[in-house]
């Protein structure tokens, strides 16, 4: 018995039958004596359908109105789920962003939650009803509707769990947890029972699409245990929590990859202050996010090569912008490369274990994979490699760090 | 230059192209210097699609959640129309029931407007923006979403025009005005330039489906001129206003009909107080509306026949209920008849002209149409006849009252 926040993604409520099945799962937990708030996404495909309506109408749809439009997706699914719960005899009530008062900033289509009022939802929970909350949406102080960006319902759920001081936030999706690597690439992939917030943050931002990064930040900040489980089986699940001693025994927890990056290199730019600022301010002005940045000076210190990565979607535009600045920077040439991929290892154990990066580089080189760029943080090492070696690289690293065995450590080798 | 409230129905915004065309019409009026609030329905077919979702999910969908669900239809169309207006360079802002604060009672799926706050919408209009308001929806004091029933967007528009003290409320639909009778039945049907609130009220409640009855009540109460026009042509239109002298010259303004009634007769009930109360309380308890009621006593005053009409949809259920009471009432038999139709003439001129009803009965009898039931008010006469004579009856009355000529009157005959 406790206070549980659950979140069901678009696939989980993708049809009327699935909504009824989800209602059945909730009813069971409710009858066990739990108080339950459920956060629901739009039925799968619905958000895209609405976005396409707008794109077919308008060359550049107004972002305030876009939020009014797409937020209807969640409104439909909460009403249907509440109906289905009532049909099972479970008292339930749908609640929209403006009814609970989930306040966000004014950044339409990618708003951030500022504050959630708990009065209304507490009242619903205390009256014995299941609160069925529309994910992904909030309101500004002026009562304008906002949305939280792709995957925003994860953030709605974790933020709600935080303010309600819930015992757990359960994220139901179409996979049964977080794996050591993508099971579609590596058959030895193993589901992790537990993972730390920091590891999950790195995994999420490095390309593992299980949770929205922002939701993990909320989880970490407010110490909300986040359980990722499959809607369709009762088995498995991965719990994201604060670090503990057990976790540190694992040197590497997982391997992630991202195919959606492209590299741009300025060859032979003058090696003087202000070069990087000129390039990256110009990109920032166009709202282009840069991921990795590397600069190598030549031996004589006069010229340098500057490389960085952006998403493949932004790469054409980024190339144009940088080429426009090339003459000012005195660059010899600007070249782009989209046939790359980023391969990363993540693990809190790295902090206390030397030689992790070295083992990664060595393992890749043993199978002839050239490393194009490297970037590191306290708990991750990322390498940009030729895209065609990506699957090979994932499998080689999975073996090298013995990720198929729980409790792997360098000492064992 | 003035303050205009416009309403566009589902057919008018039924596709992206039509939304763009509507935006063009609004832009023109805006550029002429008018302040404009636009009330929009859901795109045609959308409300039915949503209702079917709920009906396929649940045997008896919860009415609170039904309103959360179907109100998304208008939310989609206001956001799209606001986008389209902005694309034309017209500042515009969508506003939902909870953003304006259109307060209603708690009767979900058929709520009545109690109060509309004008602060927010005035602010939008004064800032020079077109206010694009979601029709059909309101909120309760507890912020629950309500809807106003079929045709509710008409009522949203007229109520908004009333509180804003607009110069006119323009209702754009797929017909170009109110006709003397259904043009599909009678080729001589003539569009009326003007009609009084009382006549329009009778026409609406007698089966002419141009405006929701409740919207005309609002118009009458707050003296809002209501102009019904076609979205698709610039010609025509019918203005509903308070009566004036010209109107009274028209004895009969229009002929309406309703095929959706059924008659139930209790034969030989005891002629004592309380019989009618027993029957109609039992029907009211089941939420069945009764339209016409007629009772004939026998010559000896001991027995009576009691007839009434209900909608065809309710007739089976009503028959069951009445049959259940038949023995208590001492009725000899209870019979139902669904092959009937109601034919009505409407006109404020009836008040000052004798012989209107007589002419109606005479005209019908001349072509052999038997009158089954009669009901009258100050400005209308309704006859229930055999359904198969309906078209004939409409045409005969149209000729008898010379409705194809403006300014018809009995004196001319």
CB neighbour class for A177 (10 Å; exposed up to 12, middle 13-18, buried from 19): buried
Picking from A52, A80, A144 by the largest number of B CB atoms within 10 A of its own CB, the best residue to mutate is A80
Place of tokens 């001081």: A165
Question: CA-nearest residue of chain B to A62?
Answer: B83
What does the DSSP 8-state code read for residue B301? S
What is the pLDDT at residue B245? 72
* Rounded Cα distance, A23 and A37, in Å: 12
What is the pLDDT at residue A141? 95
Strand partners, B345: B255, B381
Closest CB to B82: pick one of A62, A79, A84: A62
Element (H, E) at B3: strand B3-8
Question: Cβ distance A257 to A344 under 8 Å?
Answer: yes
Which residues of chain A approach chain B closer than 8 Å at the C-beta?
A: 16, 19-20, 50, 53-54, 56-59, 61-62, 64-66, 68-69, 71-72, 75-76, 78-80, 82-84, 86-87, 93-94, 96, 98-99, 143-145
**Among residues of chain A, what percentage have pLDDT more than 70?**
97
Domain of A15 in residue numbering reads as 3-174
What is the pLDDT at residue B413? 37
- C-alpha distances in angstroms, B59 versus A329, B55, B64, B341? 70, 6, 15, 32
Average pLDDT, chain B: 92
Chain A residues lying within 8 Å of B53, measured CB to CB = 16, 76, 80
What is the pLDDT at residue A413? 37
Sign of the Cα torsion A308, A311, A314, A316 reads positive
Question: Cβ distance B76 to B42 under 8 Å?
Answer: yes
Q: What are A166's two structure tokens?
A: 């819930």
Which residues of chain B approach chain A closer than 8 Å at the C-beta?
A: 16, 19-20, 50, 53-54, 56-59, 61-62, 64-66, 68-69, 71-72, 75-76, 78-80, 82-84, 86-87, 93-94, 96, 98-99, 143-145
Closest CB to B99: pick one of A61, A71, A143: A143
Q: Is residue A383 part of a domain?
A: no
CA angle B297, B303, B308 (to 5 degrees): 60
What beta strand segments (E) does B271-407 contain?
A: 293-297, 303-311, 333-337, 340-346, 371-377, 380-386
Chain B residues lying within 8 Å of A99, measured CB to CB = 143-144
For range B132-149, the mean pLDDT: 96
A94 and B61 within 8 Å at the Cβ level: the answer is: no
Confidence grade of residue B98 (pLDDT, cut at 50, 70, 90): very high
What beta strand segments (E) does B148-260 contain?
A: 168-173, 194-196, 226-230, 238-241, 254-258
Sign of the Cα torsion B389, B393, B395, B396 reads positive
Global confidence as pTM? 0.87
* Rounded Cα distance, B40 and B117, in Å: 18
* Confidence check: pLDDT of A106 > 50: yes
* Rounded Cα distance, B77 and A67, in Å: 13
For range B256-260, the mean pLDDT: 93
Closest CB to B83: pick one of A61, A87, A145: A61
What is the pLDDT at residue B411? 45
B65 and A83 within 8 Å at the Cβ level: the answer is: yes
B82 and A61 within 8 Å at the Cβ level: the answer is: no
B20 and A93 within 8 Å at the Cβ level: the answer is: no
Chain B residues lying within 8 Å of A57, measured CB to CB = 16, 19-20, 80, 83-84, 87
Radius of gyration of chain B (CA): 23
- C-alpha distances in angstroms, A280 versus A9, A122, A260, A317, B292? 36, 46, 20, 13, 79
Closest CB to B76: pick one of A59, A72, A80: A72
What is the pLDDT at residue A248? 59
- List pLDDT tens digits, range B162-204: 999 999 999 999 889 999 999 889 999 999 999 999 999 998 8
Q: What are B363's two structure tokens?
A: 């005209």
Place of tokens 């009084």: B196
* Rounded Cα distance, B106 and B141, in Å: 9
Give the residue among B132, B220, B112, B121 at the shortest CA–CA distance from B164: B121
Question: Cβ distance B250 to B267 under 8 Å?
Answer: no
Picking from B45, B59, B66, B69 by the largest number of A CB atoms within 10 A of its own CB, the best residue to mutate is B69
* Rounded Cα distance, A58 and A64, in Å: 13
* Rounded Cα distance, A254 and A374, in Å: 18
Element (H, E) at B36: strand B35-40
Picking from B14, B49, B65 by the largest number of A CB atoms within 10 A of its own CB, the best residue to mutate is B65
For range B387-404, the mean pLDDT: 95
What is the pLDDT at residue B247? 67
For range A62-80, the mean pLDDT: 98
B68 and A79 within 8 Å at the Cβ level: the answer is: yes
For range B391-404, the mean pLDDT: 95
Distance between first and last Cα of chain A: 44
Q: What are A57's two structure tokens?
A: 């109408």
- List pLDDT tens digits, range A251-272: 899 999 999 999 999 988 887 7
Confidence grade of residue B408 (pLDDT, cut at 50, 70, 90): low
A68 and B57 within 8 Å at the Cβ level: the answer is: no
What does the DSSP 8-state code read for residue B412? G
* Confidence check: pLDDT of A17 > 90: yes
Confidence grade of residue A104 (pLDDT, cut at 50, 70, 90): very high
Please give the ipTM for the structure prediction. Answer: 0.85
Q: What is the 3-state secondary structure (H, E, C) of chain A?
A: CCEEEEEECCCCCCCHHHHHHHHHHHHHHHHCCCEEEEEECCCCCHHHHHHHHHHHHCCCCCHHHHHHHHCHHHHHHHHHHHHHHHHCCCCEEEECHHHHCEEECCCCCCCCEEEECCHHHHHHHHCCCEEEEECCEEECCCCCEEECCCCHHHHHHHHHHHHHCCCEEEEEECCCCCECCCCCCCCCCCECCEEEHHHHHHHHHCCCCCCCHHHHHHHHHHCCCEEEEECCCCCCCEEEECCCHHHHHCCCCEEEEECCEEEEEEEEEECCCCHHHHHHHHHHHCCCCCCCEEEEECCCCCEEEEEEEEEHHHHHHHHHHHHHHHHHHCCCEEEEECCEEEEEEECHHHHHCCCHHHHHHHHHHHCCCCEEEEEEECCEEEEEEEHHHHHHHHHHHHHHCCCCCCCCCHHHC
Give the residue among B115, B227, B235, B240 at the shortest CA–CA distance from B169: B227
Sign of the Cα torsion B332, B338, B340, B346 reads positive
Task: Map residue B43 onto helix, strand or coil.
Answer: coil
B83 and A16 within 8 Å at the Cβ level: the answer is: no
Q: Is residue B88 part of a domain?
A: yes
What contacts B48, CB < 8 A, 6 or more positions away?
Answer: none
Task: Map residue B49 onto helix, strand or coil.
Answer: helix
Q: Is residue A122 part of a domain?
A: yes
Sign of the Cα torsion A355, A361, A364, A368 reads negative
For range B357-362, the mean pLDDT: 93
Task: Map residue B183 onto helix, strand or coil.
Answer: coil
Closest CB to A57: pick one of B78, B80, B144: B80
* Rounded Cα distance, A58 and A66, in Å: 11
Chain B residues lying within 8 Å of A100, measured CB to CB = none
Residue A58: give its domain's CATH number.
3.40.1160.10
* Rounded Cα distance, A236 and A190, in Å: 11
Q: What are B313's two structure tokens?
A: 């949809």
A58 and B87 within 8 Å at the Cβ level: the answer is: yes
Element (H, E) at B20: helix B16-31
* Confidence check: pLDDT of A291 > 60: yes
Picking from B54, B57, B124 by the largest number of A CB atoms within 10 A of its own CB, the best residue to mutate is B57
Closest CB to B82: pick one of A65, A80, A87: A65
Question: Cβ distance B220 to B197 under 8 Å?
Answer: yes
Confidence grade of residue A410 (pLDDT, cut at 50, 70, 90): very low
Q: Is residue A145 part of a domain?
A: yes
* Confidence check: pLDDT of A200 > 70: yes
Q: What count of CB pairs under 8 Å joins A to B?
A: 104
* Rounded Cα distance, A214 and A222, in Å: 12
What beta strand segments (E) does B259-370 contain?
A: 261-270, 293-297, 303-311, 333-337, 340-346
Chain B residues lying within 8 Å of A76, measured CB to CB = 50, 53, 69, 72
* Confidence check: pLDDT of A411 > 70: no
Confidence grade of residue B410 (pLDDT, cut at 50, 70, 90): very low
Chain A residues lying within 8 Å of B68, measured CB to CB = 75, 78-79, 82, 94, 96
Distance between first and last Cα of chain B: 45
Question: CA-nearest residue of chain A to B66?
Answer: A79
Give the residue among A180, A60, A205, A77 at the shortest CA–CA distance from A136: A77
What does the DSSP 8-state code read for residue B176? S
Using CA atoms of A311, A177, A23, A96 in order, give the dihedral in degrees to the nearest 10. -40
Q: Is residue B360 part of a domain?
A: no
Give the residue among B103, B106, B29, B108 at the shortest CA–CA distance from B61: B108
For range B80-104, the mean pLDDT: 97
* Rounded Cα distance, A183 and B173, in Å: 56
B76 and A50 within 8 Å at the Cβ level: the answer is: yes
Q: How many residues does chain A have?
A: 413
What is the pLDDT at residue B107? 93
For range B94-110, the mean pLDDT: 96
- Number of separate domains in chain B: 1
Give the residue among B316, B360, B361 at the shortest CA–CA distance from B337: B316
* Confidence check: pLDDT of B409 > 70: no
- Which range among A10-14, A67-71, B210-214, B362-366 shows the weakest confidence by mean pLDDT? B210-214
What is the pLDDT at residue B277? 86
Chain A residues lying within 8 Å of B57, measured CB to CB = 16, 19-20, 80, 83-84, 87
What contacts A90, CB < 8 A, 6 or more positions away?
Answer: A23, A26, A27, A30, A31, A130
What is the pLDDT at residue B204? 83
Q: How many residues does chain B have?
A: 413
- List pLDDT tens digits, range A322-363: 999 888 888 889 999 999 999 999 998 888 888 899 999 999
What is the pLDDT at residue B248? 60
- C-alpha distances in angstroms, B257 versus A171, A174, A400, B344? 57, 56, 84, 6
Strand partners, B335: B265
For range A91-107, the mean pLDDT: 97
Question: CA-nearest residue of chain B to A67?
Answer: B79
* Confidence check: pLDDT of A409 > 70: no
Picking from A79, A97, A130, A147 by the largest number of B CB atoms within 10 A of its own CB, the best residue to mutate is A79
**Among residues of chain B, what percentage have pLDDT more than 70?**
97
Chain B residues lying within 8 Å of A79, measured CB to CB = 54, 65-66, 68-69
B80 and A65 within 8 Å at the Cβ level: the answer is: yes
CB neighbour class for B374 (10 Å; exposed up to 12, middle 13-18, buried from 19): middle
Q: Is residue B97 part of a domain?
A: yes
B76 and A69 within 8 Å at the Cβ level: the answer is: yes
Q: Is residue A156 part of a domain?
A: yes
* Confidence check: pLDDT of A103 > 60: yes
* Rounded Cα distance, A349 and B255, in Å: 86
Q: Is residue A100 part of a domain?
A: yes
* Rounded Cα distance, B341 and B361, in Å: 15
B61 and A78 within 8 Å at the Cβ level: the answer is: no
Chain A residues lying within 8 Å of B91, measured CB to CB = none
- List pLDDT tens digits, range A157-186: 999 999 999 999 999 998 899 999 998 899
């Amino acid at each position: 018995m406790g206070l549980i926040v659950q979140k069901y993604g678009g696939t989980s409520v993708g049809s009327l039958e699935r909504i009824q099945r989800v209602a059945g799962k909730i009813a069971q937990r409710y009858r066990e004596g739990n108080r339950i708030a459920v956060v629901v996404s739009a039925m799968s495909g619905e958000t895209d359908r609405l976005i396409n309506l707008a794109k077919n109408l308008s060359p550049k749809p107004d972002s305030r109105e876009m939020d009014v439009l797409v937020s209807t997706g969640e409104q439909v699914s909460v009403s249907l789920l509440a109906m289905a719960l009532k049909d099972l005899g479970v008292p339930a009530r749908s609640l929209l962003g403006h009814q609970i008062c989930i306040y966000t900033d004014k950044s339409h289509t990618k708003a951030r939650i500022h504050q959630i009022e708990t009065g209304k939802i507490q009242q619903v929970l205390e009256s014995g009803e299941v609160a069925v909350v529309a994910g992904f949406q909030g309101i500004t102080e002026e009562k304008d509707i906002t949305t939280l960006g792709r995957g925003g319902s994860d953030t709605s759920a974790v933020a709600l769990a935080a303010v309600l001081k819930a015992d757990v936030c359960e994220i139901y999706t179409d996979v049964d947890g977080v794996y050591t690597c993508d099971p579609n690439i590596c058959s030895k992939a193993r589901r992790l029972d537990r993972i730390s917030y920091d590891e999950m943050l790195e995994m999420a931002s490095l390309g593992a699409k299980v949770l929205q990064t922002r939701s993990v930040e909320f989880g970490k900040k407010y110490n909300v245990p986040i359980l990722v489980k499959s809607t369709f089986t009762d088995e498995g699940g991965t719990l994201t929590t604060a670090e503990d001693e057990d976790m540190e025994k694992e040197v590497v927890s997982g391997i992630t990859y991202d195919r959606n990056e492209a590299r741009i290199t300025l060859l032979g730019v003058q090696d003087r202050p202000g070069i990087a600022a000129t390039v990256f301010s110009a990109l920032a002005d166009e709202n282009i996010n840069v991921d990795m940045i590397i600069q190598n000076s030549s031996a004589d210190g006069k010229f340098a090569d500057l490389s960085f990565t952006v998403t493949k979607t932004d790469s054409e535009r980024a190339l144009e912008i940088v080429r426009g600045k090339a003459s000012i920077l005195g660059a010899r040439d600007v070249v782009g490369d989209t046939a790359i991929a980023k391969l990363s290892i993540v693990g809190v154990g790295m902090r206390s274990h030397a030689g992790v990066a070295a083992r990664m580089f060595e393992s890749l080189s043993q199978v002839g994979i050239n490393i194009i760029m490297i970037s590191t943080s306290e708990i991750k090492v990322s390498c940009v490699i030729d895209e065609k070696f990506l699957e090979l690289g994932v499998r080689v690293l999975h073996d090298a760090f013995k990720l198929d065995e729980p409790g792997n450590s360098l000492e064992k080798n």
